[in-house]
Amino acid sequence: MLRLLFTPRWLARSLLGVVLLVACVGLGVWQWDRAQATLDAEYAALEVPVSVSDLAPAGADLPSENVGRPVFATGRYAEPPLYVSNRSLDGRNGFWVLSPLDLADGSQVAVLRGWLPEIAKVPIGDVTVNGVMQPYENFYADSTAKNGVIVSMSRDEIVAAWGADVRAGIVNLSSQEPTLPGDPLPVPSTVQLGGVGFPLQNFFYALQWLIFAGFVVFFWWRWIGIDLRDLNKEKEAS
Amino acid sequence: MKGLAGAATRYRIMAWITGVLLAVLVCIGMPLRYWLLKDNWNAPISTIYAIGWVLHGWVFVVYLAAALDVTFRMKYSVLKVLGVAISGTIPFMSFVAEHFVKRDVNARLTQ
């Protein structure tokens, strides 16, 4: 076999095999990098804050892929606020406060302004808010509001208080400009950013290049086997 | 030549599947995707188009296995093997390659 390998013909074939092998692996790595770069770019794009009106449709459900995305909104806190009971902050029991934010286009969006130790009037006024889109809660669906106090931030409770035209989802406030005297303490968002489209095409191409690299090795091996067999036959014949 | 007829049939089936899929993607898919719908990346046709290329990738893997099998059985030269292999990625070339392989195989089988 070694003698066959060092014939000019097989040296050339082996060299071509190595070139093809390196090319296949290199192209596979390139496609893998492309898939990674696409993923990174998609995640980076999701982390850029956008206007709440781009993500939260009015009178509909919040698309699941918009959960966890940073948003901003400019408008005016309106009345009436909703108080969510049994919410703790740093171990202290209290309430979360939701206010409707009137936007310039006439629509409203629910803003989770933060935590208060007890029910107290919250300030109203013109603000610009930054926050994270979060979905409605849907536990204790049967409960009803009593004096503006609710158990869970469900769409039904919010619509009952503010009307059906409110935009989908809740903006979990992270910062507000300007701050108003008597603002609740903002609470950290607990929702995770949703997934992004996986670049299947690049990922599969990467995989396929590795399969082709395997083909090169397999057929080189098979071919040399055939030549070796033919050589032995010739020897036996002579 | 044991198995050559079967290998040739497998190769010819894959050459036609690969060729038709590639022709549809290039002649119908590409103009739709990049010309008529160039501003609408979220149209369903974009998804179907992307799936079509993923499908072509896997179909080509099978095509390549069938092509290498038949060209080896035919003891083609390295250049001819590479030519038949690559023709699965060039629009309409797989039909041309299929025509020549079929001719060669038939000549061999009727010897």
Q: Do B72 and A204 touch (CB under 8 A)?
A: no
Domain boundaries, chain A: 50-177, 198-238
Residue B77 has pLDDT above 90, yes or no: no
* Contact indicator for A73, A129 with CB cutoff of 8 Å: yes
Its ipTM equals 0.80
Q: Which amino acid is at A133?
A: M
Map residue A128 onto helix, strand or coil.
strand
Best of A18, A19, A38, A208 to mutate (most B CBs within 10 Å, chain B): A208
- Give the residue carrying structure tokens 């022709």: B23
Closest chain A residue to the Cα of B58, Cα to Cα = A208
Q: Which CATH number fits domain A50-177: 2.40.160, 1.10.8, 2.40.50, 3.30.43?
A: 2.40.50
The CA distance from A46 to B46, in Å, is: 21
Tokens for A128, please give them: 């610009």
Interface residue A200 vs chain B (CB under 8 A)? yes
Give the residue-averaged pLDDT of A102-131. Answer: 94
What is the span of the domain harbouring residue B58? Answer: 4-109
Give the residue-averaged pLDDT of A38-42. Answer: 87
Q: Do A16 and B78 touch (CB under 8 A)?
A: yes
Q: Do A222 and B57 touch (CB under 8 A)?
A: no
| Helices B44-73/B93-109 angle, 10° precision | 30
pLDDT of residue B60: 95
The tens digit of pLDDT for each residue in A183-222 reads: 999 998 888 776 677 888 889 999 999 999 999 999 899 8
The CA distance from A172 to A174, in Å, is: 6
Interface residue A48 vs chain B (CB under 8 A)? no
Considering its fold, how many domains does chain B have in total? 1
The CA distance from A73 to A189, in Å, is: 17
Averaged pLDDT score across all residues of chain A: 90
pLDDT of residue B3: 87
The tens digit of pLDDT for each residue in A44-85 reads: 888 889 999 998 988 778 888 888 899 999 999 998 999 999
- Residues of B within 8 A of A15 (CB-CB) are none
Cα–Cα distances in Å, from A30 out to A42, A196, A206, B58, B85? 18, 21, 7, 18, 21
Q: CB neighbours of A228 closer than 8 A, spacing ≥ 6? A: A1, A4
